[in-house]
A and B are shown apart, each in its own frame.
Chain A
Amino acid sequence: GAVVSQHPSWVICKSGTSVKIECRSLDFQATTMFWYRQFPKQSLMLMATSNEGSKATYEQGVEKDKFLINHASLTLSTLTVTSAHPEDSSFYICSATGLAARLQETQYFGPGTRLLVL
């Protein structure tokens, strides 16, 4: 149990386009979803935390108008990178925690989305 999927797994796009990444919890209800970014050889950097039905909480330095997060249901959160630029190229990973007691404490990660902006 506690499987999280992400789609797409990789994206190559032109500079200026917007890219939407989906994060789904497949077998549990995710009360909270987290979005991370990871550059090569660096640690995970939390971008934002989202709770179902409410606005996402963004970390300092993350532009909320550039990285739009929607958490419309207990199984789906989306991250849209608007007007992507080459410096947005990165590995984007989502994670989720769930309603059930055993799922509250632990983050379950999606497989990540590799974004390359040309």
Chain B
Amino acid sequence: RKEVEQDPGPFNVPEGATVAFNCTYSNSASQSFFWYRQDCRKEPKLLMSVYSSGNEDGRFTAQLNRASQYISLLIRDSKLSDSATYLCVVSYNFNKFYFGSGTKLNVKP
């Protein structure tokens, strides 16, 4: 079983839509959770960390559900520029990070 699993998508949504991705992780001892964004042929960029209490940054909201071992990312009012691959990252010590395979989002006009 993979450490981190994501639906690869693609999620095709119109501008202005709300879209949500989930990511499940297998190690219940996981401590740190992140969402990264990766544009085509570029390096991943940190979108947000995910805390137990949830985290909101503008149109982006991340939630952590430890009981069910998943994290989620909600994007409201999607923009064309949100089109990218969203990577879920989980760590249970600061020396090891596990990446999901990414969820591709296409926001269309």
Residues of A within 8 A of B (CB): 32, 34, 42-44, 46, 49, 51, 91, 93, 97, 104-112, 114
Contact of A43 among B94, B97, B101 (CB under 8 A): B101
Determine how close the nearest CB of chain A comes to the CB of B10; give it in whole angstroms.
Answer: 11
Q: Name which residue of chain B comes closest to A94, CB basis.
A: B43
Instruction: Say if the beta carbon of B49 comes within 8 Å of chain A.
Output: yes
Residues of B contacting A42 in the complex (Cβ-Cβ under 8 angstroms): 101
Contact assessment for B42 and A107 in the assembled complex, using a CB-CB cutoff below 8 Å: no
Query: Are A104 and B45 also in contact (CB < 8 A) when A43-B99, A43-B102, A44-B87 are?
Result: no
Q: Name which residue of chain B comes closest to A34, CB basis.
A: B97
Q: How far is the CA of A110 from the CA of B45 in the complex (A)?
A: 9
Instruction: Say if the beta carbon of B16 comes within 8 Å of chain A.
Output: no
Q: How far is the CA of A105 from the CA of B95 in the complex (A)?
A: 9
Interface residues on B, range: 20 to 34
Tally of contacts, chain A with chain B, CB under 8 A: 43
Q: Name 14 A/B residue pairs within 8 A (Cβ), A-sorted.
A: A43-B87, A43-B99, A44-B44, A44-B87, A51-B95, A105-B32, A105-B94, A106-B49, A107-B34, A107-B46, A107-B97, A108-B46, A109-B43, A109-B45
Q: How far is the CA of A112 from the CA of B45 in the complex (A)?
A: 12
Contact assessment for B94 and A104 in the assembled complex, using a CB-CB cutoff below 8 Å: yes
Query: Are A105 and B42 also in contact (CB < 8 A) when A43-B100, A43-B102, A44-B99 are?
Result: no
Chain B's interface: helix, strand, loop or mixed, by majority? strand
Interface centre among A32, A91, A105, A112 (most CB of B within 10 A): A105
Q: How far is the CA of A97 from the CA of B32 in the complex (A)?
A: 13
Instruction: Say if the beta carbon of B1 comes within 8 Å of chain A.
Output: no
Q: List CB contacts (< 8 Å) of B55-109 with chain A.
A: 87, 89, 91, 94-97, 99-102
Contact assessment for B42 and A112 in the assembled complex, using a CB-CB cutoff below 8 Å: yes
Determine how close the nearest CB of chain A comes to the CB of B94; give it in whole angstroms.
Answer: 5
Interface centre among B41, B46, B95, B96 (most CB of A within 10 A): B95
Contact assessment for B94 and A49 in the assembled complex, using a CB-CB cutoff below 8 Å: no
Residues of B contacting A107 in the complex (Cβ-Cβ under 8 angstroms): 34, 46, 89, 97
